[in-house]
Structure 1
Amino acid sequence: MALRKQSGELPEGSVRLSESEAILFQWKNISSWESLSDVWPLKYGISIAAVSSSLSAWYINRCYRSMLKLGAHGRLVSYLPTVVIPAIATSIYHQEKVLSDVLIMKSECPVCIQIRSSAIQAIFGGLYPAVLAPVAGFMIATRHYTYDVPPITESPKETFKLWLKLTRRIQGFLLAAVCSQALLGAGLAFFQVKSIIKVNEKILSAEKSSLPPGHTYDDKL
Protein backbone atom coordinates (compact mmCIF):
# COMPACT_ATOMS: atom_id res chain seq x y z
CA MET A 1 0.00 0.00 0.00
CA ALA A 2 1.33 3.43 -0.94
CA LEU A 3 1.55 6.23 1.60
CA ARG A 4 -0.27 9.41 0.60
CA LYS A 5 -1.05 12.73 2.23
CA GLN A 6 -4.77 13.27 2.43
CA SER A 7 -6.97 16.01 3.88
CA GLY A 8 -10.70 15.79 4.37
CA GLU A 9 -12.60 12.59 3.65
CA LEU A 10 -10.52 9.44 3.19
CA PRO A 11 -11.01 7.38 0.02
CA GLU A 12 -12.67 4.01 0.51
CA GLY A 13 -10.26 1.39 1.85
CA SER A 14 -7.78 3.93 3.19
CA VAL A 15 -6.33 3.90 6.70
CA ARG A 16 -5.45 7.09 8.55
CA LEU A 17 -2.02 6.98 10.18
CA SER A 18 -0.34 9.27 12.68
CA GLU A 19 3.06 10.74 11.78
CA SER A 20 4.94 8.14 13.82
CA GLU A 21 2.84 5.32 12.35
CA ALA A 22 3.47 6.61 8.84
CA ILE A 23 7.24 6.68 9.47
CA LEU A 24 7.13 3.11 10.83
CA PHE A 25 5.05 2.02 7.83
CA GLN A 26 7.57 3.46 5.40
CA TRP A 27 10.49 1.98 7.28
CA LYS A 28 8.91 -1.49 7.10
CA ASN A 29 8.59 -1.10 3.34
CA ILE A 30 12.24 -0.10 3.05
CA SER A 31 13.49 -2.86 5.38
CA SER A 32 11.81 -5.54 3.26
CA TRP A 33 12.71 -3.97 -0.08
CA GLU A 34 14.52 -6.46 -2.30
CA SER A 35 16.49 -4.07 -4.51
CA LEU A 36 19.25 -2.57 -2.37
CA SER A 37 20.20 -0.11 -5.11
CA ASP A 38 16.80 1.55 -4.63
CA VAL A 39 17.01 2.04 -0.86
CA TRP A 40 20.68 2.09 0.23
CA PRO A 41 20.62 5.84 1.10
CA LEU A 42 17.64 5.21 3.39
CA LYS A 43 19.01 2.02 4.93
CA TYR A 44 22.60 3.11 5.45
CA GLY A 45 22.43 6.91 5.44
CA ILE A 46 22.51 7.20 9.23
CA SER A 47 25.51 4.86 9.50
CA ILE A 48 27.39 6.73 6.78
CA ALA A 49 26.72 10.06 8.49
CA ALA A 50 27.79 8.76 11.91
CA VAL A 51 30.99 7.07 10.70
CA SER A 52 31.99 10.12 8.68
CA SER A 53 31.56 12.54 11.59
CA SER A 54 33.37 10.21 14.00
CA LEU A 55 36.37 9.79 11.64
CA SER A 56 36.63 13.53 11.17
CA ALA A 57 36.34 14.10 14.93
CA TRP A 58 38.92 11.40 15.61
CA TYR A 59 41.51 13.06 13.38
CA ILE A 60 40.82 16.53 14.81
CA ASN A 61 41.23 15.18 18.33
CA ARG A 62 44.43 13.40 17.28
CA CYS A 63 45.85 16.66 15.95
CA TYR A 64 45.21 18.56 19.19
CA ARG A 65 46.56 15.69 21.29
CA SER A 66 49.74 15.70 19.21
CA MET A 67 50.19 19.48 19.54
CA LEU A 68 49.68 19.24 23.31
CA LYS A 69 52.19 16.34 23.50
CA LEU A 70 49.75 14.13 25.36
CA GLY A 71 51.16 10.82 24.16
CA ALA A 72 49.16 8.00 25.75
CA HIS A 73 47.78 10.19 28.53
CA GLY A 74 44.00 10.40 28.84
CA ARG A 75 43.11 8.74 25.57
CA LEU A 76 39.74 7.47 26.81
CA VAL A 77 38.95 10.79 28.47
CA SER A 78 39.52 12.72 25.26
CA TYR A 79 38.28 10.28 22.63
CA LEU A 80 34.99 9.41 24.32
CA PRO A 81 33.46 12.92 24.31
CA THR A 82 35.10 14.11 21.09
CA VAL A 83 34.64 11.04 18.89
CA VAL A 84 31.88 8.81 20.28
CA ILE A 85 29.45 11.58 21.18
CA PRO A 86 29.56 13.21 17.71
CA ALA A 87 28.77 9.84 16.13
CA ILE A 88 25.82 9.28 18.46
CA ALA A 89 24.57 12.84 18.09
CA THR A 90 24.85 12.69 14.30
CA SER A 91 22.83 9.46 14.25
CA ILE A 92 20.08 10.86 16.45
CA TYR A 93 19.76 14.21 14.72
CA HIS A 94 19.94 12.74 11.23
CA GLN A 95 17.21 10.27 12.07
CA GLU A 96 14.94 12.80 13.79
CA LYS A 97 15.53 15.88 11.65
CA VAL A 98 16.31 14.42 8.22
CA LEU A 99 15.35 10.79 7.63
CA SER A 100 12.00 10.94 9.43
CA ASP A 101 11.08 13.96 7.32
CA VAL A 102 12.21 12.25 4.11
CA LEU A 103 10.29 9.02 4.76
CA ILE A 104 6.93 10.77 4.87
CA MET A 105 7.95 13.77 2.74
CA LYS A 106 6.77 16.03 5.50
CA SER A 107 8.62 19.04 4.18
CA GLU A 108 7.72 20.38 0.74
CA CYS A 109 11.22 21.88 0.47
CA PRO A 110 13.88 19.25 -0.38
CA VAL A 111 16.56 21.95 -0.30
CA CYS A 112 15.60 22.73 3.31
CA ILE A 113 16.15 19.07 4.21
CA GLN A 114 19.55 19.16 2.52
CA ILE A 115 20.54 22.30 4.41
CA ARG A 116 19.44 20.71 7.69
CA SER A 117 21.42 17.54 6.98
CA SER A 118 24.42 19.61 5.89
CA ALA A 119 24.36 21.64 9.11
CA ILE A 120 24.17 18.50 11.29
CA GLN A 121 27.22 17.00 9.60
CA ALA A 122 29.24 20.22 9.68
CA ILE A 123 28.51 20.79 13.37
CA PHE A 124 29.20 17.31 14.71
CA GLY A 125 31.88 16.34 12.20
CA GLY A 126 33.86 19.58 12.33
CA LEU A 127 32.85 22.40 14.65
CA TYR A 128 32.01 20.38 17.76
CA PRO A 129 35.32 18.45 17.94
CA ALA A 130 37.26 21.62 17.07
CA VAL A 131 35.93 23.17 20.29
CA LEU A 132 35.76 20.16 22.60
CA ALA A 133 39.00 18.38 21.62
CA PRO A 134 41.31 21.23 22.76
CA VAL A 135 39.29 21.74 25.96
CA ALA A 136 39.69 18.06 26.86
CA GLY A 137 43.32 18.26 25.79
CA PHE A 138 44.00 21.30 28.00
CA MET A 139 42.65 19.45 31.03
CA ILE A 140 44.82 16.41 30.38
CA ALA A 141 47.90 18.51 29.57
CA THR A 142 47.49 20.44 32.83
CA ARG A 143 47.14 17.25 34.84
CA HIS A 144 50.17 15.52 33.30
CA TYR A 145 52.34 18.64 32.71
CA THR A 146 52.85 17.96 29.02
CA TYR A 147 52.19 21.54 27.86
CA ASP A 148 52.11 24.95 29.48
CA VAL A 149 48.37 25.64 29.55
CA PRO A 150 47.18 28.85 31.29
CA PRO A 151 44.58 28.20 34.01
CA ILE A 152 41.22 28.76 32.35
CA THR A 153 39.61 30.11 35.53
CA GLU A 154 42.39 32.62 36.20
CA SER A 155 43.44 33.49 32.63
CA PRO A 156 40.56 32.74 30.24
CA LYS A 157 41.92 35.16 27.63
CA GLU A 158 45.31 33.46 27.60
CA THR A 159 43.64 30.06 27.32
CA PHE A 160 41.57 31.33 24.40
CA LYS A 161 44.73 32.66 22.74
CA LEU A 162 46.31 29.23 23.10
CA TRP A 163 43.25 27.66 21.50
CA LEU A 164 43.54 30.11 18.59
CA LYS A 165 47.26 29.40 18.26
CA LEU A 166 46.76 25.65 18.06
CA THR A 167 43.69 25.91 15.84
CA ARG A 168 45.51 28.09 13.29
CA ARG A 169 47.99 25.25 12.77
CA ILE A 170 45.23 22.98 11.46
CA GLN A 171 42.82 25.60 10.15
CA GLY A 172 43.19 24.26 6.61
CA PHE A 173 42.12 20.79 7.67
CA LEU A 174 39.31 22.15 9.86
CA LEU A 175 37.93 24.17 6.97
CA ALA A 176 38.16 21.14 4.69
CA ALA A 177 36.49 18.95 7.34
CA VAL A 178 33.58 21.33 7.84
CA CYS A 179 33.06 21.78 4.09
CA SER A 180 33.36 18.08 3.26
CA GLN A 181 31.00 17.12 6.07
CA ALA A 182 28.51 19.74 4.90
CA LEU A 183 28.70 18.40 1.34
CA LEU A 184 28.29 14.84 2.58
CA GLY A 185 25.21 15.80 4.59
CA ALA A 186 23.63 17.57 1.62
CA GLY A 187 24.48 14.65 -0.67
CA LEU A 188 22.98 12.07 1.68
CA ALA A 189 19.75 14.02 1.97
CA PHE A 190 19.59 14.40 -1.82
CA PHE A 191 19.95 10.66 -2.41
CA GLN A 192 17.50 9.86 0.40
CA VAL A 193 14.83 12.08 -1.14
CA LYS A 194 15.53 10.59 -4.56
CA SER A 195 15.32 7.09 -3.08
CA ILE A 196 11.98 7.57 -1.30
CA ILE A 197 10.46 9.06 -4.44
CA LYS A 198 11.58 5.99 -6.41
CA VAL A 199 10.18 3.65 -3.75
CA ASN A 200 6.82 5.43 -3.67
CA GLU A 201 6.57 5.41 -7.47
CA LYS A 202 7.31 1.68 -7.62
CA ILE A 203 4.76 0.91 -4.91
CA LEU A 204 2.11 2.88 -6.82
CA SER A 205 3.06 1.10 -10.02
CA ALA A 206 2.93 -2.27 -8.26
CA GLU A 207 -0.54 -1.51 -6.90
CA LYS A 208 -1.73 -0.74 -10.41
CA SER A 209 -0.23 -3.91 -11.83
CA SER A 210 -1.11 -6.02 -8.74
CA LEU A 211 2.46 -7.18 -8.25
CA PRO A 212 4.42 -7.32 -4.94
CA PRO A 213 6.38 -4.07 -4.39
CA GLY A 214 10.15 -4.33 -4.51
CA HIS A 215 10.20 -7.69 -6.31
CA THR A 216 9.26 -8.61 -9.87
CA TYR A 217 7.67 -5.55 -11.40
CA ASP A 218 10.89 -3.66 -12.26
CA ASP A 219 10.94 -4.82 -15.86
CA LYS A 220 7.40 -3.58 -16.34
CA LEU A 221 8.03 0.00 -15.21
Structure 2
Amino acid sequence: MAEEALVAPGNKEVVRRVELTQAELIRLQYQALQQFPKEKRWPFTSGVTTVGVNAGFVGLIANSMFRRVLQVTQARVLSALPMFLIPAVTASAAWQAFVAQSMLAGNLNCPVCAQVRGASINVLAGFINPVCLAIPMVGGLARRYYTAVLPKGNDFWEFWLKTSRPVVWRMLPALLLQAAWGAMLASKEFDLYLKISKHGFIVLEDGQTLSKDS
Protein backbone atom coordinates (compact mmCIF):
# COMPACT_ATOMS: atom_id res chain seq x y z
CA MET A 1 0.00 0.00 0.00
CA ALA A 2 1.22 3.50 -0.81
CA GLU A 3 0.08 6.66 0.95
CA GLU A 4 -0.82 9.38 -1.54
CA ALA A 5 -1.89 12.95 -0.84
CA LEU A 6 -5.02 14.13 -2.59
CA VAL A 7 -4.74 17.75 -3.69
CA ALA A 8 -7.65 20.03 -4.45
CA PRO A 9 -7.63 22.13 -7.65
CA GLY A 10 -5.92 25.47 -7.11
CA ASN A 11 -4.88 24.50 -3.60
CA LYS A 12 -1.43 23.25 -2.70
CA GLU A 13 -2.54 22.03 0.70
CA VAL A 14 -3.32 18.39 1.34
CA VAL A 15 -7.05 17.73 1.58
CA ARG A 16 -6.71 14.22 3.01
CA ARG A 17 -4.50 11.19 2.75
CA VAL A 18 -5.62 7.78 1.56
CA GLU A 19 -3.98 4.39 1.26
CA LEU A 20 -3.50 3.38 -2.38
CA THR A 21 -2.23 0.10 -3.73
CA GLN A 22 0.60 0.27 -6.21
CA ALA A 23 -1.78 -0.65 -9.05
CA GLU A 24 -4.19 2.14 -8.07
CA LEU A 25 -1.37 4.67 -7.88
CA ILE A 26 -0.11 3.70 -11.35
CA ARG A 27 -3.65 3.97 -12.74
CA LEU A 28 -4.07 7.46 -11.27
CA GLN A 29 -0.71 8.52 -12.65
CA TYR A 30 -1.75 7.34 -16.11
CA GLN A 31 -5.02 9.27 -15.79
CA ALA A 32 -3.10 12.39 -14.78
CA LEU A 33 -0.83 11.81 -17.78
CA GLN A 34 -3.82 12.17 -20.12
CA GLN A 35 -4.06 15.86 -19.18
CA PHE A 36 -0.81 16.58 -21.02
CA PRO A 37 -0.75 17.20 -24.80
CA LYS A 38 -0.12 14.12 -26.95
CA GLU A 39 3.23 15.40 -28.15
CA LYS A 40 4.45 15.71 -24.54
CA ARG A 41 3.28 12.36 -23.18
CA TRP A 42 4.80 10.21 -25.94
CA PRO A 43 7.58 8.75 -23.71
CA PHE A 44 4.99 6.84 -21.68
CA THR A 45 2.43 6.22 -24.44
CA SER A 46 4.66 5.40 -27.42
CA GLY A 47 8.10 4.85 -25.90
CA VAL A 48 7.44 1.22 -25.03
CA THR A 49 6.48 0.58 -28.67
CA THR A 50 9.85 1.85 -29.86
CA VAL A 51 11.55 -0.43 -27.34
CA GLY A 52 9.68 -3.43 -28.72
CA VAL A 53 10.25 -2.56 -32.37
CA ASN A 54 13.97 -1.99 -31.82
CA ALA A 55 14.29 -5.33 -30.03
CA GLY A 56 12.44 -7.02 -32.88
CA PHE A 57 14.83 -5.58 -35.46
CA VAL A 58 17.82 -6.71 -33.39
CA GLY A 59 16.28 -10.19 -33.44
CA LEU A 60 16.00 -10.08 -37.23
CA ILE A 61 19.60 -8.92 -37.59
CA ALA A 62 20.88 -11.66 -35.26
CA ASN A 63 18.79 -14.24 -37.10
CA SER A 64 20.18 -13.12 -40.46
CA MET A 65 23.80 -13.17 -39.29
CA PHE A 66 23.62 -16.60 -37.69
CA ARG A 67 21.85 -17.99 -40.75
CA ARG A 68 24.68 -16.67 -42.91
CA VAL A 69 27.35 -18.20 -40.68
CA LEU A 70 25.63 -21.60 -40.62
CA GLN A 71 24.63 -21.33 -44.31
CA VAL A 72 20.92 -21.76 -43.62
CA THR A 73 18.85 -20.57 -46.59
CA GLN A 74 15.58 -22.38 -45.85
CA ALA A 75 12.58 -21.29 -43.75
CA ARG A 76 13.30 -17.56 -43.86
CA VAL A 77 9.79 -16.48 -42.85
CA LEU A 78 9.44 -19.31 -40.32
CA SER A 79 12.46 -18.07 -38.41
CA ALA A 80 11.94 -14.33 -38.99
CA LEU A 81 8.48 -14.11 -37.41
CA PRO A 82 9.36 -15.46 -33.94
CA MET A 83 12.71 -13.68 -34.03
CA PHE A 84 10.86 -10.37 -34.35
CA LEU A 85 7.78 -11.02 -32.23
CA ILE A 86 9.31 -12.73 -29.19
CA PRO A 87 12.00 -10.08 -28.52
CA ALA A 88 9.49 -7.29 -29.22
CA VAL A 89 6.95 -8.62 -26.72
CA THR A 90 9.59 -9.51 -24.12
CA ALA A 91 11.35 -6.14 -24.30
CA SER A 92 8.06 -4.21 -24.15
CA ALA A 93 6.89 -6.17 -21.09
CA ALA A 94 10.25 -5.76 -19.35
CA TRP A 95 10.27 -2.01 -19.99
CA GLN A 96 6.74 -1.57 -18.69
CA ALA A 97 7.40 -3.60 -15.55
CA PHE A 98 10.88 -2.44 -14.57
CA VAL A 99 11.02 1.12 -15.89
CA ALA A 100 7.70 2.82 -16.73
CA GLN A 101 5.42 1.35 -14.06
CA SER A 102 8.17 1.27 -11.46
CA MET A 103 8.69 4.98 -12.06
CA LEU A 104 4.99 5.84 -11.86
CA ALA A 105 4.68 3.80 -8.66
CA GLY A 106 7.34 5.99 -7.06
CA ASN A 107 9.97 3.26 -6.86
CA LEU A 108 12.40 4.95 -9.25
CA ASN A 109 13.03 8.49 -8.04
CA CYS A 110 16.64 9.02 -9.11
CA PRO A 111 17.31 10.39 -12.64
CA VAL A 112 20.68 8.65 -12.94
CA CYS A 113 19.17 5.40 -11.62
CA ALA A 114 16.41 5.69 -14.22
CA GLN A 115 18.92 6.12 -17.04
CA VAL A 116 21.06 3.21 -15.85
CA ARG A 117 18.03 0.95 -15.47
CA GLY A 118 16.65 2.01 -18.86
CA ALA A 119 19.96 1.27 -20.58
CA SER A 120 20.34 -2.05 -18.74
CA ILE A 121 16.82 -3.27 -19.51
CA ASN A 122 17.13 -2.28 -23.16
CA VAL A 123 20.46 -4.08 -23.49
CA LEU A 124 19.28 -7.22 -21.68
CA ALA A 125 15.82 -7.53 -23.23
CA GLY A 126 16.52 -5.73 -26.50
CA PHE A 127 19.94 -7.10 -27.41
CA ILE A 128 21.20 -10.03 -25.34
CA ASN A 129 17.82 -11.79 -25.36
CA PRO A 130 17.36 -11.65 -29.18
CA VAL A 131 20.95 -12.79 -29.79
CA CYS A 132 20.59 -15.72 -27.37
CA LEU A 133 17.24 -16.60 -28.93
CA ALA A 134 18.76 -16.70 -32.42
CA ILE A 135 21.27 -19.39 -31.42
CA PRO A 136 18.81 -22.27 -30.80
CA MET A 137 16.52 -21.03 -33.57
CA VAL A 138 19.17 -21.06 -36.30
CA GLY A 139 20.99 -24.02 -34.77
CA GLY A 140 17.82 -26.10 -34.98
CA LEU A 141 17.35 -25.15 -38.63
CA ALA A 142 20.98 -25.95 -39.43
CA ARG A 143 20.58 -29.39 -37.87
CA ARG A 144 17.27 -29.99 -39.63
CA TYR A 145 18.49 -29.01 -43.10
CA TYR A 146 22.04 -30.37 -42.64
CA THR A 147 23.73 -27.09 -43.54
CA ALA A 148 26.28 -27.33 -40.71
CA VAL A 149 27.64 -30.01 -38.43
CA LEU A 150 26.82 -29.12 -34.82
CA PRO A 151 29.06 -30.82 -32.26
CA LYS A 152 27.82 -32.46 -29.08
CA GLY A 153 29.19 -32.83 -25.60
CA ASN A 154 32.06 -30.63 -24.45
CA ASP A 155 32.59 -29.17 -27.91
CA PHE A 156 29.04 -27.80 -28.04
CA TRP A 157 29.70 -24.68 -25.94
CA GLU A 158 33.08 -24.05 -27.55
CA PHE A 159 31.48 -24.19 -30.99
CA TRP A 160 28.78 -21.65 -30.15
CA LEU A 161 31.19 -19.32 -28.38
CA LYS A 162 33.43 -19.36 -31.43
CA THR A 163 30.45 -18.86 -33.76
CA SER A 164 28.81 -16.12 -31.70
CA ARG A 165 31.90 -13.98 -31.07
CA PRO A 166 32.19 -12.47 -34.59
CA VAL A 167 28.41 -12.01 -34.79
CA VAL A 168 28.33 -10.06 -31.53
CA TRP A 169 31.28 -7.91 -32.59
CA ARG A 170 29.53 -7.01 -35.84
CA MET A 171 26.39 -6.16 -33.88
CA LEU A 172 28.26 -3.91 -31.44
CA PRO A 173 26.73 -0.72 -32.97
CA ALA A 174 23.26 -2.16 -32.27
CA LEU A 175 24.30 -2.83 -28.66
CA LEU A 176 25.46 0.77 -28.21
CA LEU A 177 22.31 2.14 -29.85
CA GLN A 178 20.10 0.04 -27.57
CA ALA A 179 21.95 1.28 -24.48
CA ALA A 180 21.76 4.90 -25.65
CA TRP A 181 18.08 4.68 -26.56
CA GLY A 182 17.19 3.03 -23.25
CA ALA A 183 18.98 5.73 -21.27
CA MET A 184 17.45 8.54 -23.34
CA LEU A 185 13.90 7.19 -23.15
CA ALA A 186 14.16 6.60 -19.41
CA SER A 187 15.40 10.17 -19.00
CA LYS A 188 12.44 11.50 -21.01
CA GLU A 189 10.01 9.41 -18.96
CA PHE A 190 11.57 10.61 -15.72
CA ASP A 191 11.24 14.27 -16.76
CA LEU A 192 7.57 13.68 -17.57
CA TYR A 193 7.09 11.77 -14.31
CA LEU A 194 8.38 14.81 -12.39
CA LYS A 195 5.90 17.03 -14.22
CA ILE A 196 3.05 14.65 -13.36
CA SER A 197 4.13 14.63 -9.70
CA LYS A 198 4.29 18.43 -9.56
CA HIS A 199 0.97 18.71 -11.40
CA GLY A 200 -0.89 16.81 -8.68
CA PHE A 201 -4.38 15.29 -8.90
CA ILE A 202 -7.54 14.62 -6.94
CA VAL A 203 -9.77 11.57 -6.97
CA LEU A 204 -13.42 12.14 -7.81
CA GLU A 205 -16.34 9.90 -6.96
CA ASP A 206 -16.67 8.73 -10.58
CA GLY A 207 -13.01 7.69 -10.65
CA GLN A 208 -11.79 10.58 -12.81
CA THR A 209 -8.88 12.80 -11.87
CA LEU A 210 -8.26 16.51 -12.06
CA SER A 211 -4.96 18.33 -11.90
CA LYS A 212 -4.45 20.73 -9.03
CA ASP A 213 -4.07 23.51 -11.62
CA SER A 214 -7.45 22.76 -13.26
Report the TM range for the smaller structure's normalisation: 0.7 to 0.9
Q: Between Structure 1 and Structure 2, how many residues are aligned? A: 197
Shift of 1:98: 0.7
SS of residue paired to 1:170: helix
Report if the CA contact (8 A) 2:102-2:108 is conserved.
Answer: yes
Letter of the 1:95 counterpart: Q
2:97 aligned with 1:96, yes or no?
A: yes
Structure 2 residue runs of 5 or longer lacking an equivalent are: 6-12, 202-210
Shift of 1:148: 2.3
2:212 aligned with 1:207, yes or no?
A: yes
Q: Which has the higher helix share?
A: 1
SS of residue paired to 1:16: strand
Matches within 5 A, 1:122-141: 122-141=123-142
Shift of 1:68: 1.6
Letter of the 1:37 counterpart: E
- CA distance, structure 2, for counterparts of residue 80 and residue 19 of structure 1: 35
- CA distance, structure 1, for counterparts of residue 153 and residue 31 of structure 2: 52
Match of 1:161 among 146, 158, 161: 158
Q: Which residue is 1:53 aligned to?
A: 55
Q: Which residue is 2:169 aligned to?
A: 172
Letter of the 1:188 counterpart: L
Q: Which residue is 2:27 aligned to?
A: 24
Match of 1:194 among 171, 191, 195: 191
Letter of the 1:62 counterpart: S
- CA distance, structure 1, for counterparts of residue 131 and residue 21 of structure 2: 40
2:15 aligned with 1:12, yes or no?
A: yes
Report if the CA contact (8 A) 1:33-1:39 is conserved.
Answer: no
Q: Which has the higher strand share?
A: 2
Structure 1 residue runs of 5 or longer lacking an equivalent are: 212-221
SS of residue paired to 1:149: coil
Matches within 5 A, 1:69-148: 69-73=71-75, 75-76=77-78, 78-148=79-149
Q: Which residue is 1:67 aligned to?
A: 69
Report if the CA contact (8 A) 2:116-2:183 is conserved.
Answer: yes
Runs of 4+ in 1 over 4 A off after TM superposition: none
